[in-house]
Structure 1
């Protein structure tokens, strides 16, 4: 059966070999063994049940948490010539009944359902009439109360499986699971600990960085200006911040959308669809957005504020680079972010034990933001890979910026805070140091202090940024409340009395992520035209990784086109002539028509 699996991999999905972990999971499932697969986002979890679904005689039932994810996956399967359907709340009762009837007649190889349907007794009875070979549970971490995205309806899955007369194989899949969550998945789904296939959590195509002590909005505008042809997600912690960033970016002419739970369903759906169709380059969102987004060409994820825990961060950051191409994950850190997250945790309806657990996880996020070691290794160790080596390609591993001694400037700031009684915020302290004529300064008599105007060669804004840097380095701490005040930490006192020096690295220079590739851009434009005509997201036509491989291989015939990574027989027949024509025109217009074909560049393919 494994040989048949490899044949289907090439025929339907256009790949010559399985990626790490896929073959082991598929072999286990085909042997009839209940299995858990722990693979990073973009590691190809979907194929682990889609390939067995083609081989098993009956239907594969896929339990998936979000409507958008189901639709994207079903659209992709249909594009590849595989009969599939979904059942969720987006359908009318009549359409849902028709699809269920078709499923009973064997019309589909895969049927996707939302976990909440398992709470419907009538639906459960209907499922008993289906001949089901495999039940695949996507986002299986939702089954664990120790996980970051617990869904009570997932607890109904085992009872469902026990009722099914066909006694199907069980496959649980997730990308974010600590050791405790893995144990919960296995216990809840009846999976032996010996039947867990884990490929680790490393994402070698992702570049992780934490940016501290800088003006966030300025950094964001500069970054987007230099990467204006790329698709990305910007996460913020609150709806208010999302709205503020959305307004800022759209006023700058950036094609941005927004998404949060305070918007109505229609507006959210419109914004999400526009992003999937590449009509919007950037989506600004809370964590309400993204778990079901199968968009493969997201080139960057920026966290404008620090997330509440490592699971949320890694899952959200992992939405970049699902096609295997180089992508960036940038966290813009500010100590005040932690205060916001603490407030949100305190205001939740969770029991005290849960709040205590969430606060511990938040402190680990703080440690991540301050580590000077490898960022990828920190993440992997959090998820249980104690022997994780340095990745060699995150910001901390590659950072060669020169450091400058700013101890004297730090002492000026710290001294001013102390002389102001540690009772004021960043804005007023900055203004005093800059020698501002602000009336409030005169009212308090701060113009008489020795630190007044001591840094007047800098703007108040520049000084405020420096205060952010000192706060990120924990020489200064901010009090809670609506108007936080600055206080000196013990480390700050050591600096003030000359026991510790302060070094600051040079400002980060923002680079464009990709080099100019004219053919790739032309193929991307053609993909968008086709997608618009067919009413599907562009990445469903072909991924960026496939277009990159196409522009490297320069296929001249249908046979050569089939050799492109990610091109199966169905898509070759459907799109081959259009893309071959575009390549031929490009070669002719650039005077390269008579040149021999160059060897293809190595492109890391996606098998999601």
Structure 2
């Protein structure tokens, strides 16, 4: 069975060896046993069920939550000669009839369905009549009510084990902390499944988080400086912010498209299609966008607003660099983001227990933002994967944060909260500390307080930083029903009394450009793909040919060959079929379909270089 799986891997997918524990997972499923697989985005989860689907007799049923996700995988599979289809509401009736006929005659290797369709009695009855090789439950974290992508339809999937007791099930996800993992096991009835947990470390992603100061301008400078030729995703918290940001980026020379639930469905579909099909397109989106995106050459993911949890941040940033090549996760945040997220949480209809969990998740996200050391260490620690050494591939490793003794400033800030009656927000508190004679200060006679003017040593932006860090670290609470007024809590007592000191971070709004590190054809800056100067003409020619073939086939360019495979060609410069077959990602079907045209192109460049 192992030899058969390796042959499928090489001949169909074009890879010589399995990565990590892929081989073990595939063997487990082929032996008829259940498995739960946690593997980071871009880690190769899909192969864990696609290879068994080709090795085992029958049809594999793949449960997927979004049509876009199904269609993307089907495009990829059909391009390498695999018989893959999907049944969903967007498939025309006559096409559904054709697919069902092929299903009954055993001519489909993988059938993708949404959970709500799969669990209808009509669909289950059809599956009773065929040989099902396995059930693959993709995006399995959707079963968790603690997660950020909960789908109630996933709860019904536990019935599969009673209806099809002899069919192995494999559940897969890229995002799950301990609580979510346990819930997946319980809700899908996977108590006897072997659990495979890969590293959550996306080593190719460069993490960068800055304080927000004119966020859109910061974003534009980042794109122009580091990713002007790349595709990327920009996340915003509100629909209005999405529309404004997309319009503003377009006005400043970027090709940007909005995406959110308030747009007409056809417009969303059109914008998503353009993002997937075209190069150098930026999609500006709310959280409605992303789960169904399998585009491997997204070179950056940017957040203009603070995500509500590390799970959300990890999953969203994981959409960058799925091909394993360098990518950047960029974010700016400020005090208003913290207050807005807490306001959203407090105004929700969640139970007290769920609100408590949401609070813990937000606090963990703030800890990642405010840390002074390596960000990757904090990120991986959250997923129970301690990293002993600093990563060297985040902003704070490349350019360590400066800290200062903020004890006295913090005590002044806390005293001002107390003296003003714990009834005011940050802006007014700063006016009091700076000694400003504003109308509001005079109205409440705050010029008479002992804290009036005691903060003149610091600028307004510096005081905002002090208050943000005090809020983020839990020394003060924000009264969201009282227009954002700050309230003292028990944690601040030792600090106020002088029994505790506090180190604060020096705010930083921009980071120095990371120096280029020269290596082979795949050389890269931190978070940025760079092709050597002498290889650029061939690189662009390969990309043009790939685009032409994609347009002929009506598929995204990366479905023909992804950037990693093109870089393999750039390095090896194969001019024969045998040599091309050795490039990772070139299987037999693609070699037959495209090998000659790519070999001819590379040969022409080789001849020009020899002249």
- Structure 1-normalised TM-score? 0.85
Q: 1:523 aligns with which of 538, 542, 553?
A: 542
Mapped partners of 2:169, 2:503: distance in 1: 58
Displacement of 1:451 in angstroms is 5.8
Look up the match of 1:195.
194
Displacement of 1:395 in angstroms is 2.4
2:174 equivalent to 1:175: yes
Q: Is the 8 A contact 1:29 1:52 kept in 2?
A: yes
Alpha-carbon spacing, 1:479–1:351, altered in 2? closer, same or farther (3 Å)? closer
Alpha-carbon spacing, 1:572–1:469, altered in 2? closer, same or farther (3 Å)? farther
Q: Which stretch of the first structure deviates more once superposed, 311-320 or 190-199?
A: 190-199
Look up the match of 1:12.
12
Q: Deviations over 1:101-143 (max 9, x none)?
A: 2111111100000011034222222221221011111011222
Q: Which stretch of the first structure deviates more once superposed, 27-36 or 275-284?
A: 275-284
Q: Which stretch of the first structure deviates more once superposed, 311-320 or 202-211?
A: 202-211
Q: Is the 8 A contact 1:53 1:110 kept in 2?
A: yes
Look up the match of 1:469.
465
SS in 2 for 1:473: helix
Alpha-carbon spacing, 1:554–1:175, altered in 2? closer, same or farther (3 Å)? same
Look up the match of 1:148.
148
Mapped partners of 1:564, 1:325: distance in 2: 16
Q: Deviations over 1:546-570 (max 9, x none)?
A: 1122212222222211111111111
Look up the match of 1:539.
558
Mapped partners of 1:225, 1:253: distance in 2: 10
2:304 equivalent to 1:285: no
Q: Which stretch of the first structure deviates more once superposed, 431-440 or 71-80?
A: 431-440
Displacement of 1:297 in angstroms is 0.5
SS in 2 for 1:337: helix
Q: Deviations over 1:52-82 (max 9, x none)?
A: 1111110111011110010010110000011
Alpha-carbon spacing, 1:435–1:270, altered in 2? closer, same or farther (3 Å)? farther
Mapped partners of 2:557, 2:146: distance in 1: 36
Pairwise mapping of residues 41-190 of structure 1 onto structure 2 (< 5 A)? 41-164=41-164, 167-190=166-189
SS in 1 for 2:86: strand
Matched length: 584
Pairwise mapping of residues 245-260 of structure 1 onto structure 2 (< 5 A)? 245-260=245-260
Mapped partners of 1:447, 1:362: distance in 2: 36
Q: RMSD between aligned alpha carbons?
A: 3.7
Q: Is the 8 A contact 2:36 2:193 kept in 1?
A: no
Q: Deviations over 1:169-224 (max 9, x none)?
A: 11111111222322232333343456112123221112222222544222101011
SS in 2 for 1:23: helix
Q: Deviations over 1:419-477 (max 9, x none)?
A: 9968776778889999999999999999999969979xx9xxxx665454334433897
Mapped partners of 1:404, 1:49: distance in 2: 48
Alpha-carbon spacing, 1:246–1:73, altered in 2? closer, same or farther (3 Å)? same
Mapped partners of 1:406, 1:221: distance in 2: 33
Displacement of 1:236 in angstroms is 1.4
Look up the match of 1:351.
351
Displacement of 1:156 in angstroms is 1.8
2:322 equivalent to 1:296: no
Alpha-carbon spacing, 1:290–1:157, altered in 2? closer, same or farther (3 Å)? same
Alpha-carbon spacing, 1:73–1:468, altered in 2? closer, same or farther (3 Å)? farther
Mapped partners of 1:141, 1:498: distance in 2: 41
Look up the match of 2:518.
none
Alpha-carbon spacing, 1:433–1:564, altered in 2? closer, same or farther (3 Å)? farther
Query: Please, which runs of 5 or more residues in structure 2 have no aligned partner?
Result: 515-524
Look up the match of 1:368.
368
Q: Deviations over 1:140-184 (max 9, x none)?
A: 12223333322221122231342248x311111111122232223
Alpha-carbon spacing, 1:34–1:325, altered in 2? closer, same or farther (3 Å)? same
Look up the match of 1:212.
211
Mapped partners of 1:465, 1:576: distance in 2: 58
Mapped partners of 1:552, 1:409: distance in 2: 58
Mapped partners of 1:144, 1:498: distance in 2: 40
Alpha-carbon spacing, 1:208–1:502, altered in 2? closer, same or farther (3 Å)? closer
Q: Deviations over 1:354-389 (max 9, x none)?
A: 22222221122122222223322322222233x433
Alpha-carbon spacing, 1:280–1:206, altered in 2? closer, same or farther (3 Å)? closer
Q: Is the 8 A contact 2:425 2:484 kept in 1?
A: yes
Q: 2:512 aligns with which of 496, 509, 514?
A: 509
Q: Is the 8 A contact 1:414 1:496 kept in 2?
A: no
SS in 2 for 1:559: helix
Q: Is the 8 A contact 1:42 1:323 kept in 2?
A: yes
Alpha-carbon spacing, 1:504–1:170, altered in 2? closer, same or farther (3 Å)? same
Displacement of 1:268 in angstroms is 0.8
Alpha-carbon spacing, 1:81–1:405, altered in 2? closer, same or farther (3 Å)? same
Alpha-carbon spacing, 1:54–1:194, altered in 2? closer, same or farther (3 Å)? closer
Mapped partners of 1:51, 1:325: distance in 2: 24
Query: Please, which runs of 5 or more residues in structure 1 have no aligned partner?
Result: 595-608
Alpha-carbon spacing, 1:125–1:579, altered in 2? closer, same or farther (3 Å)? same
Q: Deviations over 1:266-309 (max 9, x none)?
A: 11101100100125521111111111111001111112111111
Alpha-carbon spacing, 1:25–1:426, altered in 2? closer, same or farther (3 Å)? same
SS in 2 for 1:81: coil
Q: Is the 8 A contact 1:40 1:203 kept in 2?
A: yes
Alpha-carbon spacing, 1:497–1:157, altered in 2? closer, same or farther (3 Å)? closer
Q: Which stretch of the first structure deviates more once superposed, 390-399 or 260-269?
A: 390-399
Mapped partners of 1:402, 1:48: distance in 2: 41
Q: Is the 8 A contact 2:580 2:586 kept in 1?
A: yes
SS in 2 for 1:533: helix
